[in-house]
Structure 1
Amino acid sequence: MDTYLKTTEDVYRKAALTPDVGLCCTTTPLWKLPGLSIPSIMQEMNYGCGSTVHPRDLSGEPSVLYVGVGGGMELLQFAYFSRKSGAVVGVDPVQEMLEASRKNMVQAEQENAWFNRNFVDLRKGNALELPLDDGTIDVAAQNCLFNIFTKEDLKRALSEMYRVLKPHGRLVLSDPICDQGIPDNLQQDETLRALCLSGSLPLQDYLDLITGAGFGTVEVRARRPYRILSPGRYDTTENILIESVEVCAIKDPMPEDGPCVFTGRSATYFGGEEYFDDGKGHTLLYNQPLAVCDKTAAALSGLGKEDIFISPSTWFYDGGGCC
């Protein structure tokens, strides 16, 4: 095992035995769902940087994989949508974290009349070699874990997620990113990497690795400030902004002209006709914005039409659009 992975396991072993509220701090509010009560201990052990639970991904009681179980909060939230035995699989390499999550499930069962702890199947394993068969999962997720990996290990983790997903299955990720780039000295600090800070990649590198694993459609759903690494507290000469990003990667076939990556751009036609058809499957109705992937945005911009407005990336995409 690489030493940085051992350091990571040690950090989260301690966090399992003694919950550390400040270890990670999610930048999104908890879902408020009818009849869902999240035990306070799960909230204290919410070691994530965003949310991977999105109701529109979870219709039809899907099979769900969650890697890096933490206190079990997101496992419980996923089980809310898949109320059957073993529907939600939680995988973690740290035995103490699995035991803590299992204990928390008992508390969740006491607080939620609809919940049965058998809905959640906790397994020891790691993201680089998932203990699941090929093509068995509808929705896979991880929160503030993959940024810990080196690039080579991140490629392996994404490949494993792709392997276990069914066709058109969804991988939902929440990770820190850093477009400034993290200095080498901080990247090599194994404790900072374990704390979800110094492994943060520039967003484009992160997206390239996801599409490189084979995902044909990628949605950037949210992007927010997360942390500042400042001189004096960290070995840096300048402030370094770390953001959190929420992404959904869909196991769609890869288009011949490359992946469809949605970053919150739209196209609006305001010419003299009722609509504009680009002849490639994209119809823009008069003065009605259409969500477009970056590839389509570039193609429409290249037409040189002055009556089509292409918005910049908002880093917020909520479905629909050109593809």
Structure 2
Amino acid sequence: MDHYLNTTINVYRDAALKPDVGLCCTTSPMSALPGLEIPAIMKEMNYGCGSIVSARDLANNPKILYVGVGGGMELLQFSYFNRNAGGVIGVDVVDEMLTTCAANLSQAEIVNPWFEKEFIELRKGSALALPVDDNTIDVAGQNCLFNIFKESDLKTALQEIYRVLKPGGRLVMSDPICNQKINEALRNDERLRALCLTGSLSLQDYIKAITDIGFGTIEIRAKRPYRILAPKQYATDELIYIESVEVCAIKDAVPADGPCVFTGKAAIYYGDQEYFDDHKGHVLLPNQPLAVCDKTAANLVALNRNDIFISTSTWFYDGGGCC
């Protein structure tokens, strides 16, 4: 195991034994679900940087995998949607985190009459070698974990998720991103990387890492402010702005002209006809916005029409798109 991963394990071992309110973003959004009570200790150990639990991904009792269990909050939220024994699998490489998570789930069982610990199976294992069979998972999730990995390990982690997902399965995740250049001193600081700061990729490189594995559809669901690396506090000559991004990657076939990446763009037809049809599967009704992937947006712009408006990326996509 690379030395930087040992540093990461030590950071999260400490965070399991004593909750660290400064680790990642403990104020990230949490889903409010009827009848769900989240124990305070889970909130204190919310070591993610975004919200990845969404009802639209979780219909029909999906088999769910969550990598990097943290305090167990996401596991509890996921189990709300699959109340079968072993319906949710949680994987972590840190023994202390697994032990603490199990104890937190016992607390959750007390305050949630519907919840049983048996809904969740905790497994010891690495994101780089998941202890899960091929093509068995409907929804996989990770929150502020993959940004820790260096390039080769990130590729392996994404390949592992892709391997265990069923065709059509979804990877829901949140990670920090940074569109500025982060210098090598910061990149190579093992503790800062473990703290989910200096491993941040640009959004373009982050999406490319996902699509290179073979995911055919990428949905950018949110983009939020995350952290500032200031010259007086870090080894940098400029202010570095880090955001967090929430993404859903779908294991479907990559179209011949490349993956569909939704960044919150919409097309609006305002012409005189009943509708506009580009004969590529996209029909625009007058003044009714249609969410389009970046590829379709570019194709519509290339038509050089004066009756179609294409919005800029909103970095919010909630389904119902063109593809």
2:277 aligns with: 277
Q: Which runs of 5+ in 2 are unaligned?
A: none
Q: Deviations along 1:71-106, whole A, 9 cap, x unmatched?
A: 000000000010000010000000000000001110
- Distance in structure 1 (CA, Å) of the matches to 2:276 and 2:304: 14
Report SS of the residue matched to 2:22.
Answer: coil
Q: Aligned runs of 1:112-131 on 2, under 5 Å?
A: 112-131=112-131
- Equivalent residue number for residue 315 of structure 1: 315
Task: Give the residue type in structure 2 aligned to 1:134.
Answer: D
Contact 1:181/1:201 (<8 A) preserved: no
Code of the residue aligned with 1:200 in structure 2: it is S
The equivalent of 2:291 in structure 1 is 291
Aligned twin of 2:163 = 163
SS at match of 2:218: strand
1:250 aligns with 2:250: yes
Q: Counterpart of 2:112 in structure 1: which amino acid? A: N
Partner of 1:6: 6
* Native 8 Å contact 2:26 2:45 kept in 1: no
Question: Could you tell me whether the CA contact under 8 Å between 2:48 and 2:143 is conserved in 1?
Answer: yes
User: 1:282, 1:205 → 2: CA distance?
Assistant: 28
User: Would you say the 8 A contact 2:68–2:142 is kept in 1?
Assistant: yes
C-alpha distance in structure 2 between counterparts of 1:51 and 1:113, whole Å: 24
Displacement after TM superposition at 1:31 (Å):
1.3
Could you say which residue in structure 2 is the equivalent of 1:83? 83
Question: Any residues of structure 2 matched to 1:117-156 within 5 Å, and which?
Answer: 117-156=117-156
Cross-structure match for 2:231: 231
SS in 2 for 1:176: strand
User: Amino acid of the residue matched to residue 46 of structure 2?
Assistant: N
Map of 1:267 onto structure 2: 267
CA contact (8 A) 2:28 2:48 kept: no
Partner-residue secondary structure (3-state), 1:223: strand
1:246 partner SS? strand
Q: Could you tell me how far apart the structure 1 residues matched to 2:146 and 2:52 are?
A: 13
1:29 Cα shift? 2.5
Residue ranges of structure 1 left out of the alignment (5+ in a row): none
Q: State the alpha-carbon separation in 2 of the partners of residues 144 and 28 from structure 1.
A: 11
User: CA–CA distance in 2 between the matches of 1:266 and 1:26?
Assistant: 33
- The count of residues paired between Structure 1 and Structure 2 equals 323
Q: What is the CA deviation profile of residues 180-234 of structure 1, one whole-angstrom value per residue up to 9, with x for unaligned ones?
A: 0211110000000000000000000000010001000000000011000001100
Distance (whole Å) between structure 2 residues aligned to residue 111 and residue 316 of structure 1? 34
Q: Which residue of 1 aligns with 2:69?
A: 69
Measure, in 2, the Cα distance between the counterparts of 1:290 and 1:269: 9
Q: Tell me the C-alpha RMSD between the 2 structures.
A: 0.7
Within 2, Cα distance between the matches of 1:322 and 1:40? 41
Q: Which amino acid aligns with 2:271?
A: G
2:215/2:250 contact within 8 Å kept: yes
Distance 2:313 2:277 in 1: 22
Deviations 1:35-87 (A, max 9, x none): 10000000000100001101100001100000000000000000001000001
Inter-partner Cα distance in structure 2 for 1:259 and 1:73: 32
Distance 1:27 1:285 in 2: 41
1:188 corresponds in structure 2 to 188
Structure 1 residue 27 displacement after superposition: 5.4
Percent identity for Structure 1 against Structure 2: 69
Deviations 1:233-289 (A, max 9, x none): 001011000000000000011111100000000000001111000011100001111
CA contact 2:276–2:283 (8 Å) conserved in 1: yes
User: Counterpart of 2:20 in 1: which secondary structure?
Assistant: coil
Counterpart code for 1:35: G
Q: Return the offset for 1:26.
A: 4.4
What's the secondary structure of 2:304's corresponding residue?
coil
